Amino acid sequence: MEIDLTKLEPRHSHDLLTSSIIPRPIAWVSSINEDGQSNIAPFSFFTGVSWAPPIIAFSVVNRSDGTKKDTVINIQKVPEFVVNIVSVDQLSVMEVTAKPIPYGEDESFIYGIHLIPSKKIKPHRIQEAKISFECSLERIVRVNEGPNAGNLILGHVKLVHIDDRVLRNDKEVDSTMLDALGRLSGKYYCTTQSIIESEKN
């Protein structure tokens, strides 16, 4: 079967892409507006881009009415953000932070997480996250304007916070200890607890 995405409703393209590109890590992003109010939201169109300089990226898709999500509005105004990594036991609270709330309403009082000051940037980081990347905005690549168009946000990692318990040999993260949550599609997620070892490496 061949599927021509130009003939599909955006919702169907969404379902096809998000159920094909799996598993996806989740960037749990904290940003602030000009008044210093915090916003937190998860984004699973998330990946690494470069390690010299260290750049990571996530994509925030416009709402179906064409408006920009709060994370994009904030980062345009205050070009810094923290990408926190979500562990399995944080699934429920992460989903609470995905609910749309009115712009400018402070999200630092969500039950189950605490925001604490970052070292090099203004937006706070999530204390409970086992890994947090303090980033300054490198650039935003807009693929289009209007409904469902993506805004790829590239961040230059300035500082990494890692819980001592997940660090191995002072330089590598122990995947079992991190227990990162992966996104599938719809209401489905996955874990990294089933590991396959390559015979060639």
Ligand X SMILES: Cc1cc2nc3c(=O)[nH]c(=O)nc-3n(C[C@H](O)[C@H](O)[C@H](O)COP(=O)(O)O)c2cc1C
Sign of CA dihedral 103, 110, 75, 154: negative
Site string for ligand X, 94-133 (x = CB under 6 A): -x--x-x---------------------------------
For ligand X, the binding residue among 30, 33, 38, 71 (CB under 6 A) is 71
Q: Does 13 bind ligand X (CB under 6 A)?
A: no
Q: Which range of residues in 4-12, 34-42, 129-137, 162-170 is near ligand X by CB under 6 A?
A: 34-42
Closest CB to ligand X among residues 61, 85: 61
Number of residues interacting with ligand X: please give it, by CB under 6 A: 17
DSSP, collapsed to helix, strand or coil, labels residue 88 as helix
Q: How far is it, in rounded angstroms, from Cα 142 to Cα 162?
A: 31
Tokens 């010299």, located at residue: 52
Q: How far is it, in rounded angstroms, from Cα 153 to Cα 156?
A: 10
Name the β-bridge partners of 142. Answer: 151
Site string for ligand X, 148-177 (x = CB under 6 A): ------------------------------
Closest CB to ligand X among residues 45, 133: 45
Q: How far is it, in rounded angstroms, from Cα 125 to Cα 136?
A: 13
Q: How far is it, in rounded angstroms, from Cα 104 to Cα 33?
A: 7
Length of the chain: 201
Residues 76-95 that bind ligand X (CB under 6 A): 95
Q: Does 21 bind ligand X (CB under 6 A)?
A: no
Tokens 């980033």, located at residue: 135
Q: Which amino acid is at 87?
A: S
Q: How far is it, in rounded angstroms, from Cα 60 to Cα 46?
A: 10
Q: Does 33 bind ligand X (CB under 6 A)?
A: no
For ligand X, the binding residue among 13, 59, 108, 185 (CB under 6 A) is 59
Q: Which range of residues in 41-49, 121-129, 159-167, 170-178 is near ligand X by CB under 6 A?
A: 41-49
Q: Which amino acid is at 193?
A: Q
Q: Write out the residues near ligand X by the rule CB under 6 A.
A: 26, 39, 41-45, 59-61, 69-71, 95, 98, 100, 183
